[in-house]
Amino acid sequence: MSTDPMTGPAAAPEMLSRPGRRQRGPLWFAWRRFLANRAAVAGGVVLALIALLAVVAPLITPAGPNDQDFLSEALAFPSGAHWFGVDDLGRDFFTRIVHGARVSLTIGFAAAAFSVIIGIPLGAAAGYFGGRTDWIIMRVIEIFSVVPPLLAAMLLGALTGGGFWMIVAIAALFGWVQVCLLVRAQIKAFKEKEFVRAAQALGGGPSYVIRVHLIPNSISPIIIGFVLAIPMAMMLEASLSFLGVGVPPPTPSWGQMINTGLDFMYFYWHLAVFPTIALAVTVLATSLFGDGLRDALDPTMKAQ
């Protein structure tokens, strides 16, 4: 205990003094935490490289993805001319794999975007209003958690005949649950905060409070939900395409290629190995990146 400040003169007021040096924000610390996580950084770099390859695919590949330019060399092993070999229909396999990344990533990001679009309003409503609204939304989520996604997706895929947008829709249908739960938990925690009460005391209605205060403060769980929905959608697409109810041929899809590759596996290993590696590396990189983001943006570590 030091001397009693009550008895001394009041400390010099901080009246109108200019603010000092700007302090680092929570995002800066999140970025530092992310950089300290090597697996996450590696995942992010690999994901960025794959995305770059997907974008510039036509520039770096010798032929179109569906061009049967090398029929005479069908099933050729990897070589200097065909890095990943040639497939059974005479198409350059490297071209197919790179173009498959386009399909995988597009489906992953599109499904994650739709997951977020469905998950945010439902999670916000459940978390903010509670009571009956929360009860109904939670029961819907329970239905989705009880049904095995792959079985339901197979049923829906078989009924609708698959196709690109159908798979995006199916993946979003199962992806929003995670986003919704994350957003709901965050909003439940924040709606009792005093800045929310202050806004209510000022006359801000539910839509104002949710839009202006609660959703911007849920940006971390939203980013996490988005990134974690991507590998799930990519896996779902690959599974459905493997089973023949996903993206129809000739559109290059890794799941489809793995399926074809299985038929030739004992003699032409490259047809099964390369798409499997491509899928595994992409899903792993996205998952590591997402986990790293989640750890870095964890609100309980913000005060560090």
Residue 113 CB, nearest approach to other proteins (Å): 22
Of 23 and 72, CB closest to other proteins: 23
DSSP 109-163: HHHHHHHHHHHHHHHHHHHHH-HHHHHHHHHHHHHHHHS-HHHHHHHHHHHHT--
Residue 19 CB, nearest approach to other proteins (Å): 5
Stretch 136-175: interaction string toward other proteins, x if CB under 8 A: ----------------------------------------
11 is a contact residue toward other proteins (CB under 8 A) = yes
267, amino acid identity:
F
Residue 196 CB, nearest approach to other proteins (Å): 8
Total residues interacting with other proteins, rule: CB under 8 A: 34
Find the part of the chain contacting other proteins (CB under 8 A) among 79-87, 93-101, 205-213, 287-295.
205-213
Stretch 113-132: interaction string toward other proteins, x if CB under 8 A: --------------------
Q: Which of 204, 244, 248, 249 binds other proteins (CB under 8 A)?
A: 204
Please check whether residue 202 is in contact with residue 195, taking contact to mean a CB–CB distance below 8 angstroms: no
- Of residues 66 through 105, those in contact with other proteins by CB under 8 A are none
Q: Which of 1, 201, 300, 304 binds other proteins (CB under 8 A)?
A: 201
202 is a contact residue toward other proteins (CB under 8 A) = yes
Find the part of the chain contacting other proteins (CB under 8 A) among 72-80, 117-125, 214-222, 230-238.
214-222
213 is a contact residue toward other proteins (CB under 8 A) = yes
Please check whether residue 282 is in contact with residue 20, taking contact to mean a CB–CB distance below 8 angstroms: no
Of 20 and 161, CB closest to other proteins: 20
Q: Which of 208, 211, 250, 263 binds other proteins (CB under 8 A)?
A: 208
Of 59 and 192, CB closest to other proteins: 192
Residue 1 CB, nearest approach to other proteins (Å): 12
The number of beta carbons lying within 10 Å of the beta carbon of residue 103 is 25
Of 151 and 194, CB closest to other proteins: 194
Provide the binding-site residues for other proteins, judged by CB under 8 A: 4-7, 10-11, 13-19, 22-23, 25-26, 193-195, 197-205, 208, 213, 216-217, 219
